[in-house]
Structure 1
């Protein structure tokens, strides 16, 4: 039994599995069904040889099987130690198949009124140097104005900056905490904490407070939450006024870097058209005019009625192809309502 080195494009690094890392572009290793079945069959073979009936919910059968076999036959101490080491290695390989950063029913909420970040989840898988750990029913509040566990990993908060939200775990004390970091790959862990998982991001406002902007993250979906008195009192406007030419298909880039996280995969925008004309938005500049029927932009907005008429509003999602989206407008507004993340 060994790592599946003979499988083409398996994606091993230094002969071992690695996790996917969207920030660095590292592609995760391929876990083939044949290799997974081979490991499972090898463990089941030991259990059956001991005369036991495999039970999916019983995680102590392998240990019991080895003890039973050792009592039925005569083995040297070295042979028994080798058997236990081999079985432990196989079990560890199965454990590491869990995706670090995987979660269930994750929620990250900020109010935009202070430096607090509320994090809850039914389940989160964190990773360390040698193994992964699945944490259940977690809940904590990160104070972005403090440093250490449930705070910032080092330094002080900066304005208009993205910070990764991490779940961290202390393997010695089983303590669970949160951590903010400028890094999306290698935060500075507080003493004693050995495992971590990136589960989201927050973006700070431009004021001297440097509070995280008001947001709600449910699993991978993030919404900028408008609330009176908060730092998102109105929808976040990306651009307004004249830009390019919607009738000619002349597109102008709009940066998304302050509106979606570094690991975002799509953006939710809204066009509000309040003049007697049209506007459009697209993921790239390769689209035609808004009136085009063969190559129109995916999101368009048209003014309804004459003077005093209702503004035209259109909402949609764009898959991010670069750090920009593109729009054309006579005198309209382009808002970012939120985004979908890959973490």
Structure 2
């Protein structure tokens, strides 16, 4: 686009328009129709590209369109759910050489034990990330990594489905697996072994042949006192008998068990791979703080959202280039959403509870299970019942079922927050949706009559879009009944229509559950064209 320099009769000076100057005799420039139309078309193209419909009486549409175009051109913010996605990793680099003290500090706080590692602790407090090795039964759902590692190795029966048993270490010594060495052959990993004492053998006799005295004893054997003369021993003597007993306590410490010197400890097993708090850092709180520092992503935020129903079936269609779904403080950005689901189904891609009712509003949700999105209808505007496995959600629209036995959603179309009934012959919206018709209240006094909007727009609607018509129509509509008549100088109604065989469209911001109408003629009609949602 440029000034019309190729048209000599336009009268540009130095390539630009000039005003007429009677003093100097300068003739004013002319604007050709081609150039004027081209400029106007370019401006209108910008307005339409920003999602606006050009309106002659509105003077801020170009600015609003430019803002919308700039906003849509910004690449969507990736919603991150892990510390690693923010560049927080276990790797650490430093440009200088570590000192001995720095290395010792790093080693002291280092924790890289795999799940299943057993560690002795000198206190009775189980550290974070561990379980005491006490033979107890644990849930595989609670400790999936440990369950995968141990399997059913230590199960004894009766653990129940979905459970596994830990080994028992209380009061036990741990022995290295022989693993083919031959010192403790025949053992399998995890098998127990009773206590034992290496066998001690020996032999003794009381009176060897030809001896006049019993054998001497030492070590674990002892010769007791004797008297008399032994029988059958040549030369006689003073001994009559002797005995030898065995008592290991004479040379060793003894107890009710065989054991080495030891220190009592509590054996624990690494149960899960969660980070262990080293010092005063709370890992969960750190992750939450990182989440809060992200650029704001509003649940339900969207780009190019479109929703529709044909009125010929129970199908609801939802599409969006980008949609933000959330679960508490966790959010996720879905891309390329394209769903078509039926209100006659149950659960995901259907209705959350029960079945469709006639003439009832249902909120439309997009839900996510960490893998793929699905659609959901619900009576709740805030808390639908999510199917198993689904955690994130965002409300995107509403549909209203018709009054027939089919209970099909009414024929409508939605772009962004703007929703309109779609009139289609043969569908359940074959003509205008009439809010009120005929004489109502009084025009000149005035007297307004309250009309509930719930049958025509959903609970979260912020505006209602209407049309007035009639052969000799005089109607007034206001958001409350405090407005005056059309002749009032201080509080005229927001919507007034007086015409013959014409149709006028209006948009009214809702202040409550009712709008207020006064109409003069029997042929007056007020119809609902659609609404704007508070998405």
TM-score (norm 1): 0.75
Matching of residue 266 in structure 1 with residue 463 in structure 2:
yes
Deviations 1:272-299 (A, max 9, x none): 1312x51111111111122334322111
Query: Which of 92, 117, 125 in structure 2 is aligned with 1:67?
Result: 92
**Quick one: structure 1 residues 80 and 133, their matched pair in 2 at CA, closer, same or farther if it must change by over 3 Å?**
farther
Matching of residue 284 in structure 1 with residue 480 in structure 2:
yes
Query: Which of 350, 371, 379 in structure 2 is aligned with 1:182?
Result: 379
**Quick one: structure 1 residues 291 and 312, their matched pair in 2 at CA, closer, same or farther if it must change by over 3 Å?**
farther
Q: Distance in 2 between matches of 1:225 and 1:342?
A: 20
Identify the residue that residue 33 of structure 2 maps to in structure 1: none
**Quick one: structure 1 residues 141 and 342, their matched pair in 2 at CA, closer, same or farther if it must change by over 3 Å?**
same
Identify the residue that residue 335 of structure 2 maps to in structure 1: 136
1:276-315 pair list within 5 angstroms:
277-304=473-500, 311-315=501-505
Identify the residue that residue 349 of structure 2 maps to in structure 1: 150
Query: What is the total number of aligned residue pairs between the two structures?
Result: 276
**Quick one: structure 1 residues 69 and 341, their matched pair in 2 at CA, closer, same or farther if it must change by over 3 Å?**
farther
Task: Give the superposition deviation at 1:133.
Answer: 1.0
Q: Higher relative CO (CA 8 A, sep ≥ 6), structure 1 or 2?
A: 1
Matching of residue 337 in structure 1 with residue 529 in structure 2:
yes
SS state at 1:90 partner: helix
Task: Give the superposition deviation at 1:124.
Answer: 1.1
Query: Which of 493, 497, 518 in structure 2 is aligned with 1:328?
Result: 518
Identify the residue that residue 35 of structure 1 maps to in structure 2: none
Identify the residue that residue 440 of structure 2 maps to in structure 1: 243
Q: Distance in 1 between matches of 2:94 and 2:356?
A: 59
Q: Distance in 1 between matches of 2:293 and 2:453?
A: 39
**Quick one: structure 1 residues 82 and 243, their matched pair in 2 at CA, closer, same or farther if it must change by over 3 Å?**
same
Q: RMSD in angstroms over aligned alpha carbons?
A: 2.4
Structure 1 unaligned regions, length at least 5: 1-58, 305-310
SS state at 1:279 partner: strand
Task: Give the superposition deviation at 1:79.
Answer: 4.0
Query: Which of 190, 196, 203 in structure 1 is aligned with 2:400?
Result: 203
Query: Which of 486, 490, 509 in structure 2 is aligned with 1:319?
Result: 509
Matching of residue 111 in structure 1 with residue 293 in structure 2:
no
Kept in 2: contact 1:243–1:327 (CA 8 A): yes
SS state at 1:89 partner: helix
Identify the residue that residue 218 of structure 1 maps to in structure 2: 415
Q: Distance in 2 between matches of 1:195 and 1:250?
A: 49
Structure 2 unaligned regions, length at least 5: 1-83, 111-276
SS state at 2:438 partner: strand
Identify the residue that residue 221 of structure 2 maps to in structure 1: none
**Quick one: structure 1 residues 268 and 90, their matched pair in 2 at CA, closer, same or farther if it must change by over 3 Å?**
same
TM-score (norm 2): 0.49
User: Which structure is higher in strand share?
Assistant: 1
Matching of residue 194 in structure 1 with residue 386 in structure 2:
no
Task: Give the superposition deviation at 1:67.
Answer: 2.5
Identify the residue that residue 125 of structure 1 maps to in structure 2: 324
Task: Give the superposition deviation at 1:81.
Answer: 9.7
Rg: which structure is higher? 2
Identify the residue that residue 24 of structure 1 maps to in structure 2: none
